[in-house]
Chain A
Amino acid sequence: MTASSHFPSYSEGKTNSVAASPLSSLKIEARELSLFYGKKQALKDINAQIMENSITALIGPSGCGKSTFLRCLNRMNDLIESVKISGTVLLEGQDIYAKNVDVVRLRQRVGMVFQKPNPFPMSIFDNIAYGPRLLGVKNKTDLSNLVENTLQDSALWGEVKDDLKKSALSLSGGQQQRLCIARALAVKPDVVLMDEPCSALDPISTLKIEELMRELRDKYTIVIVTHNMQQAARVSDTTGFFLLGELIEIDASSKIFTDPSDKKTEDYITGRFG
């Protein structure tokens, strides 16, 4: 039972995911990144490279550090008190953990979509306009245009355009998540991090969001944590496999899912554990 037999889309040569072209540049790089929750080490010397305009999937069993790693990329782990980090993360060559880094600005450039949709208790319009308003956009027309464009980009415009003043909480789960994606896109980030964005959604919403990801790839760099391997295989160009806080292997998805280098990766993919 080889890896490739689990993922026939690869062996058939069907390419949903094109490996990032060699001309694209290095967007994010992690070097010897380690993270401790108090005494417990959650990430061990992670080295990873994420290319621009690509979709990178991070897979692995529960609790192995993929979400923790993701949250390092926009310094969301700073919010947890007992966290200690060593090593570094470079965004376009600049160390984001350096002393005078503007974290607020960083988080605008590296956006995040969370596992459970978390729209603000405001109207759809205000949710999306929240980020731009922080950045000083006040003009009503500018805001409306921005809201409409991002809603179109996230494939939600058709469903909500008739009533943007409606409360965001009245949308369905799948719609709320697409709203959160739109909200993240509204601040025009370079990178979008997604932490298991579809795990709380039904299959149809999941497919819609996967389609969305493929369309977004041209303009953004996307890193997604998922424990759905089929999803990773479907959408990503690069896949990284995490196990017990270590990044075991990171490579083109076509390789990982058909002929992984490390036995642990192969075991996970063929379902021997996890």
Chain B
Amino acid sequence: MVAESFENAPPRAAASAKEPIRREGFSLSHLVESGFYWGTAFFAGLVLLITVLIAFQLWRTSLPAIHAFGWKFLTTSTWDPVADVYGAWPFIYGTLMSSFLALLLAVPIGVGTAVFLAELSPKWMRTPLSFMVELLAAVPSVVYGLWGVLVMVPALRPFQSWLSEHFSSIPLFVGAPMGYSMMAGGLILAIMILPFITAISREVIKAVPPTQREAAFGLGATHWEAIKGPILKSARSGIIGAIILGLARALGETMAITMVIGNGNGANISLLAPANTLSSALANQFAEASGQQVSALMYLALVLFGITIVVNAMARFLIWRMARDLGRAA
């Protein structure tokens, strides 16, 4: 009986022979899959292409200036479009000095504020302050510049006059107090990177496990001693990372600083003197430049490009180091 039913059973083997699993030859789906892969790969590669193109373009257009001035471009101070003599030092100095001033102000104040927010501030203060930091992050550079021009610089002038009256013996405070100056530039940069440094430092401090705090208190430390020791130690790399990222932002900053730094053309030690940074020089001069000046400006852009790459690489390295140390300790 069983054998009969088997003979009458539908020929399954034959059915499967009609639907091979292996695909032979051309298949639309395969093509689409391939197209998808190469399509997305193309766009990914586009980023690579653009970046390389930018570097190449900067290089190519600055070649005439590189040939004319070589490395001395970085150290000489004469910038004369009429005579076609160019030296980038005043702008390199401006970029470095303004960023340095910004960090000098923003770091202690930012970290101090972060400590206050993370450890000391009463609960009711926390939400409004976070909201404020949020708002400030939304303010673009040109708006800071507007504020700088209309509010900060006029407020700075009386202070600068006072400095110039009483302290003109110190080379830092020599010159006419115009308001538009290196001091204004450093100040506006500091104000711009302050919320950023504060927010990140605060996050990092809050991330220190409460057990560290408890251990310090358990040993009889005062609140400040607990912060100074284990808490800041644990938070240190994060804070340094925030500082470097703040620096990277300050270096590339253009609009706000162009509007308040005064478009000076020398590398002047005095904080009261007008100055220029690499980016503000580009912003101020590129539109009307022609001939050799264009090439010199491109050389400036190349230098700026180089500086930002180095700083970003440093930040990246630090973040990598921090992650590695945390991983090892765990």
Contact = CB atoms under 8 A, between A and B. Distances in A.
A63 B233 CA distance: 33
A152 B328 CA distance: 27
Contacts, number: 72
A169 B218 contact: no
B233 A187 contact: no
B329 A121 contact: yes
Interface string B200-241: 000000000101111111111110010001100110000000
B218 A107 contact: yes
A183 B218 CA distance: 10
Interface residues of A, number: 29
A114 interface: yes
Given A114-B211, A118-B215, A169-B328, A104 B229 contact: no
Contact of A118 (B209, B229, B233, B328): B209
Interface string A70-103: 0000101001000000000000000000000000
A134 interface: yes
B176 to A, nearest CB: 51
Dominant secondary structure at the A interface: helix
A245 B29 CA distance: 69
Interface residues of B, number: 20
Contacts of B229: 120, 130
B215 A134 contact: no
Given A118-B209, A121-B230, A187 B219 contact: yes
Given A130-B229, A169-B328, A118 B219 contact: no
Interface string A172-197: 00000000100110010000000000
Interface of A: 74, 76, 79, 104-109, 111-112, 114, 116, 118-122, 130-131, 134-135, 167, 169-170, 180, 183-184, 187
The 6 A-B pairs at the shortest CB distance, nearest first, are namely: A108-B220, A112-B218, A169-B329, A107-B220, A118-B211, A120-B230
